[in-house]
Structures are given as C-alpha cells and as structure tokens.
Structure 1
Amino acid sequence: MELFVSKNTKNLAELNDALADVIKSVKKLDRNISLSIWDAIGRVVSEDVVCQKALPAFDNSAMDGYGVKVADSAKVVKIVGSVMAGDNPQNITLSSGEAVKIMTGAMVPSCVEAVVPFENASVNDDGTVVLPEYKNGANIRMKGEESNIGDILITKGTKLTPSHIGQMASQGKFVVTVCDKPRVAVLSSGNEIIEPWNRAEEYQIYNSNASTLIALCKEQNCSVEYIKIVNDGYEATLETIKLLKGYDLILTSGGISMGEADFVGKALLECGLAVVFKKVNIKPGKPTMFGYMGDTAVLALPGNPLSAIVNFYLFALPLIAKMQGATNHFPTYVNAKNKKSFKIKNARANVVLGTLLNGEFSVYKDYKYGSGMISPIASSNAFIVAGDGVEEIAEGESLKVVQLGSSLGSEFVDFVMQR
C-alpha cells in the first residue's frame, strides 16, 4: 500500500488527530466474497443492490374491504365476487352498482378504482352494501410506489441489517457480494497474565484483554486468530511479531509503556513498523501506538483492561469498518443531560464511562475508578470525552455522549467537550 504520512509530527497525538489519521490511512480490503443473504447479516455490501421487481409488484389492496368504482360513491352495491391474496383477478369485471370483496395484499382488478374498508360500509339484510363517500385510488397501493425497477435499494458500503436482508429477499436476490472478513491477530503480553482455562496463582491475573478483544472483533465480523502470550523478554517478543504474516490488522495489548519489561513497541519498530502515532493525549489509554507493517495495520493497545477496551472503541471500531468498505465509519454521539455533577482531574482528554438512559448520562461511581478495572466498562453503555480545561461536569449540563457499539456515521463529528 502507499505509505500514509501523518501531519502529526509529535509522538503524542491529540485524540481527534489520532482518530483522523487512523481513518485516513486505512484502505478497503480488495477481497470480496459471495454469500447467501441468510449469512450476510452485519457484513458490508460491496455492490449496489438494484430493484429488479417493482415494490409493490402490482396494484394491491391496503385493506380488507370492497373493491368498487368511483361512480358508486355513497351508493348501494351488490357483491359479485371476491379476490384473495395470491388470486389472479384478470377475469373479474364490474358494472355500475357492483363490488367485489378484496383482502389486504390482493391484486386489485383493473376494473376496481378504490377500496372501501369493511368497517366503513354497512350491509343490508338482502346482502347489498351501503357505501360511504370515497375518492379515486382510496386504499390502493400502486405498483412501484415504494421502488421502481432500476432504483438503488441498498448502496455499496452499507452494513447489512435484518431489514436489508428482507429487502433483498423481496427482490428474489438470495446471493450478495460483501467484503471478506478482515483477518485479525490478537496478541497479549505480560508474564503476570495467565489464560482463563488455566489456574492462576495469587501473583497472577487472568488474561481478560484477549477474550474481550476477540469478542469485539468477532462482533464486527472479523476472522480472528489468537497468538500465544509473549513473555516479557525482548527476543521472545521480537520472534513472535516476526511470525505475524498475512493479517490485515494486528491488535496487541500491553508492553508499550515505559516499564523495563515493555518490549512490544520496541519489537514492532524493529520489525519495520511505520509509525502514525506513538501515544494519544487521552486518559485512560495514553500508551496507544498505531502504524503499518507493510499492508498490515497495527494497533498496539495498553495492557490495562479499561484502557484497551475504550481505545478499541475509539480507534479499532472505525478502522475495521473502513477496512470493510463501510460508508459509515466515524464515531457518532447523541446529546444528553448529565444526571449528577462530578469532578475531573484535568490533565488531558478524559474518557468518562457511564450509563445513558432516557436522555440522561449517569457517570460510573462518580468517576472514581482506575484504568486497570474491568467493572466500569462492563457496567457502562456509553462514555463522554472531556477535553483539556474541563474540570467539572455540572448537573443538567448538555453532553455529547458516545454509545458503546452504536452505529457509526458517514462524517466526522467532534465529540470532545471543550470549555
């Protein structure tokens, strides 16, 4: 791929600059596959889906009622037949003073000019029907009024929802071309972490990051491979990273801070990582590095669980979306009111976790939690980003709230609060 050159010349990138650099640098994968629509949910379509069969495909009744002529408005008519959904009514004819019963979704005979709902008419003892006043075309859904042949129903770059699946089925389209799944490698480092299927000693912690990152990637329709934990030694780290070939994205967690045993960042550079940024001016999650090894994007996340997961939502989610060719790949926010005031230690942009409910944002435990915790992210469904200079969020203050896992947008929006 063509080398991306960031305008950010400092090792420490501001959040918006870092996000912009990630999105600008990512290219769509050039691999597409054909899937049945039953297997395409959540995938990004690589072609425009065009209307092949008009919707509706024919003039049909919007109600259960009587098919009538306009000339018989407010008159008495006799019933001469019926049309059910699925019937071919081509042989039905109506004369003045006649009507047919017609069911919802049934094809409207060419002689019918309006449909009067059963409940709007009254039936005499002799079976004749007293009609109300009505207009031409009443309660008839016209052929093609929703979509005509040649209309684009689903645009290239759309992430398919169940509604899109139904839309394609309505066209008799059972196979669709989508972007192939990004191939992602997830790597964890740290002598102190142990896999959840093993028994941890008192001085060890279970590796929650890998499982969470794998789940997040699979949720975004990635093909994920977990790479064994790298021991905190430079040579072992270097050899493991050298073997990471054939991936579209490498996600690492841990080993990029300033500790004596943090070798991941150094090993990535040794393996030829072209750095876009080394750190982000954000709390938590400052030690976050992004770049490319050849065509492979590399996002090195912090080892602290909360920091790693938050920065996945901030950077990896848009990255993966654009990699799949999704038109919508920018984080979005909703406006909400702050439920209870809380203070912020002003050092850099702060990610504040909480819950969004009924238009109100409730901060998690008064913003008294650490980046090594798991419960804050597990108990939250949203976050805000308070920029430099924001030291307190007042009760009732208007906020820009980013929902975890919410739909992405087609344009960049600044969700960082400023004073």
Structure 2
Amino acid sequence: MTSITDPPRGSFRPSMLINDTRYRSYTFQAIAFVVLALSIGYLINNLFTNLAAQGLDIDFSFLGAPAGYDINQRLIEYTSQSTNLQAAFVGILNTLLVAFLACVTATIFGVLAGVLRLSNNWLVRKLMAIYVEIFRNIPVLIWVLIIFTIMIAVLPGPREFRGDDPSATMFLGISAFTNRGVYIPLPFFERGFGGGLDFLMVLAVLVGSFFGARAVNARATRIQEATGVRPATLLTNLGIWFGPLIVMFLVFGLRFEVPELKGFNFAGGIKVGGPLIAIWFALSIYTGAFIAENVRAGIQAVSKGQTEAAGALGIRPGRIMSLVVLPQALRVIIPPLISNYLNITKNSSLAILVGYADVTATLGGITLNQTGRAIECILLLMLFYLTISLLISAVINVYNNAIKLKER
C-alpha cells in the first residue's frame, strides 16, 4: 500500500512552490497578496488620474476654514466661526455620546428581556416574546421616526408651562419635559473645581473606595466560607463608593442650576434635545431585542444540571441566575454582543434624519456640501467608523478572552 507524502528534504527547486505541500499555501497567499496590492494600487491611481483630469486634488486644508454653521447639541465649546475640524470633533463626541448611552441601555433592556423570556410566569414570558418579535422585525429608522413624532405631538411646548395646563408642569420642580427636549439641573461648584489637585483628590477617594469595597467583599467571603452564610454587602459597598464622594462634593459647594422658563424657552440647566432622546431610545429598544435573544440562547446553553445543583444547595432562584447561570452564559453571549455594539455605533448615523448633529451630519453632511470636498470627508468618515469599530471589538474581545474556558 502506498501513500502520498512530502518529498524528502533536499535542495530547493522552484517547482516545489506548487508541488510541495510545505510551500504551496505560502505560494497561494503570496499570489493573493500581490493581486490585492495591484488592485488597490490600480484603484488609487485611477482616483488620482481622474482628479487630475478635472483639476482637483486631495487636500485637507478645508478643515482649518471657519465652519459657518451652528450646532445646537454639543459637548464642547463651539461657534459658527469655529473651524470645520472643531465641528467634526463636536459631531464625533455627539456620535460617541449616543453610542455609549444606547449600548448601556440596550444591554439593560436586553438582559432583562432575555432573562424574563425564560420566566415561569406565562404572561411575562409572552410579553417579552412580543417585545422581541415586534421591535427586532421593524427597521430602526421607523422607530426613530415614531419616537420623535410622539415626542413632538404629545409633550407640551415650553410656552405652555406658563398656563394652567397640569400636563405642562415641571417634574419635581426641577426638570421639564417638552417637545424640544428634556431640561434637567446642571451641577456646579461654588468654590471652584477642576484643578490638578482637585482631580488627584477625587482619584485618591476612588482608589480608597475600590480597596475598601474589596476588603468588605473579602471579609464577607471569609464569613461565608466559615459559616455558610454570606452577609449583605450591597448597602455597605454603596456607602463606601458614594459616601466619600458626596462629602467631597459638598465641601466644594455642590449646587444645581435649575432650568427656568424665560421668554419662549427654558434657560439654564442641561438640555437633552429631542433628537438625541429619539435616536438614543430607538437604538436601545431595537438593539435590546437582539441582545435579549443572545441572552436567552446563552442561558439555555448552560446545562440544567447547574441550576438543579444550585437549587439543591438551597440557593434562591435570583442568586442562581446571577451567580451560577449568567457567568457561564457570558461565554456564549459576549461574541454576538460585539456585533450588536458595532451595529449601534454604525446605526447612530441615522440621527441625521431627526436633526441630531452627529459626525455624519457635520463632517459628512454640512461640511461636505459647503466645501465640496466629498472624497476627503468620506475618507475621514470611513476612518472614524473603522477606528471606533476596531476599538470596540478589541475591548470586548479582551473581556471575552478573560472569561473563556482555559484548558490545561
């Protein structure tokens, strides 16, 4: 009986690049790399050739020119005389803000809905199934329009807060829900805050709280190992984390600027615009439905024997879910969760539909139209979304690698 084996080692011959299995894969990879490099080079050369034929070139100097337009929702200082680069940064921060808020709330919605989909209560289980099937099968663009339209139609206008309409009253006397957005108090410090020493003090307090909470949890673990009963640590940990910070903020004179109705609009406080709320809530409930299915699949991937063994030890169902099932289910949940976070970041570009000034609206919209630098703006947009997507994938993959099973 004969078998096909690699030829004996000897002097290298060019034919071995194809016939020898030791080199064949490298040959095909090298050929594919050369073809890809030539294709990219051809496309780039074609781009510059066409630009030169029309008297154009790649030039990013427009980023230093005045933007000439206002942005209503911003996290940093900006005026119409700021540069296009500054406007792009405002859009980037707005994009990151809505993506971060949506990722957090979508995760909360998804985990709750995914756990409740497996509830023993028939009504709760069916309601969560209805939520998942409705929200994930309707495009997120429609949800953005629905939520924004409801806000405009249902919530009162600022001027209505002058009348006797009971629906147009400030919530707890400090917040106002209007069709233009939500106005909430703005915290500030009477004695000033923001120096390097102040931030070092806050950092020291946070580090101390971290080690204090670890000491409390370690003590609770020792008591549990000795007696079989774990003492409650939630309130103690909350006191350790928030108590020193509250005292420090009071020392600095923490106060709140409450929004007040002046003229035809509210002044003071923080304005959370209606477009931000619409895109934030739409992305949250839409993506939360997908995360719920990931959570449900992850929980069902854990053997029922784990739950039964924990129940036999007398552990309450809530503790079984949080201590036994979910930690093991995370190995199944995390990989598809990365895709959901990436979808949130990319779907945030739909904010331009309701007038939210994200990076697509500023750099890829107004700036592009005013300067005519379409190629440069699109390249910068592609670079931004690619960078953010790779960073999100890298961070979540680090956590995924930390919780995956380690084989000997």
Work out whether the TM-score is over 0.5.
no
- Which of the two has greater helix per residue? 2
- Which of the two has greater strand per residue? 1
- TM-score, normalised relative to structure 2: 0.21
Q: Which has the higher contact order (CA 8 A, sep 6+)?
A: 2
